[in-house]
Amino acid sequence: MTLQSVPVLLRNVLALGCIGLAGAAWAAGPAPAATTPANPLGGKAGATATAPAAPGQPREITWEELVPKDWDPMKAYKGIDFSKLDDADPKAAELLLKMQEVSDNAPANSALNGALVKIPGFVVPLEESKGEITEFLLVPYFGACIHTPPPPANQILHVRPEKGAKFRSMDTVWVTGRLQTTRNDSMMGVSGYAMTAQAVTKYTGAAK
């Protein structure tokens, strides 16, 4: 990893800093034209919080809800002027390692442990069998873990579908199941959540 990766990873951290300190949840709706760390699949800042689910039904959640409200990812970087760092500066390499550590250890929202939920996201395949995905990461914006560095751990969901899912890399889907605050390391990124998905369905906007 070189210093060229810093702006991307920093944007992830800055975005989550805004998410963690924001008071409003993001309501799921039609996918934005261009998803980014600050504008993930599932809505935009300032929307009304999602309504409670009917008894026995999954509650539609947003990526913002996965971030503890008291988590401040920018705390570790206060006073650092990134514009003064370059590849030749040993402090740059140290900072990159520190940023990766903060990202990989981003805390999960313990209040969601065991909750039956439904959340939209992008597919990052981990395992396939007979043309079906049997294990994947769900991420909030296009290109995460593939074209850009992984998001913080509390913005990655490790999914094992009960039945193989016929989707491809970066397809947009809804996943439904019980959320677990279980950490997992994979070759594509560190996830802070896990789910054995009861259903993986095509994303078509608001949940049905």
Strand-pairing partners, residue 89, are none
pLDDT by residue, tens only, the chain of 208 residues:
443 444 444 444 444 444 433 322 223 333 445 677 777 776 543 344 456 777 779 999 999 999 999 988 877 777 777 676 676 777 777 887 888 888 899 999 999 999 999 999 999 999 999 999 999 999 999 888 887 788 999 999 999 999 999 999 999 999 999 999 999 999 999 999 999 999 999 998 754 4
Backbone dihedral region of 148: left (phi > 0), alpha (psi from -120 to 50 degrees) or beta? beta
Here the tokens at position 90 are: 């040993």
DSSP string, 114-155: T-EEEEEEEEEEEEEETTEEEEEEEESSTTBTTTBPPPPGGG
19 neighbors 158 (Cβ within 8 angstroms): no
